[in-house]
Amino acid sequence: MRPEFTASRFPLGLVVVTTTALDVLTPVDIKGALFRHSQGDWGGVSEADWAENELSLKEGFRILSAYVAENGTRFWVITERDRSVTTVLLPDDY
């Protein structure tokens, strides 16, 4: 059975990845996280941050997701409030 594709809940804009994230994340990690982020699966954020992201969709605020790579590295995906840029980064990059 093929998975169904659901349209993105918001535009990602230009996608950028920090150099430190590129050093430790695989393309599969990055693509998977971007897909989940665009679908509204915010990953390992707190319940309060999950609710904040849902509000951010309606009000046009910044959206933050948190994921864990195959190698155990925690990383974030952040889409800016104007939806012009989405950044994949490590927490230490922030």
Predicted pLDDT of residue 7: 80
Q: Does residue 27 fall inside a structural domain?
A: yes
- Taking the complete model, does pTM exceed 0.75, yes or no? yes
Predicted pLDDT of residue 1: 43
Query: Is the C-alpha dihedral spanning 60, 15, 43, 35 positive or negative?
Result: positive
**Which tokens is 49 given?**
């941050």
Domain count, the chain: 1
Q: Does residue 9 fall inside a structural domain?
A: no
Q: Does residue 8 fall inside a structural domain?
A: no
Do 63 and 56 form a contact (C-beta atoms < 8 A)?
A: yes
Q: Which domain holds residue 41?
A: 14-93
Per-residue pLDDT tens digits for 79-93? 999 999 999 999 999
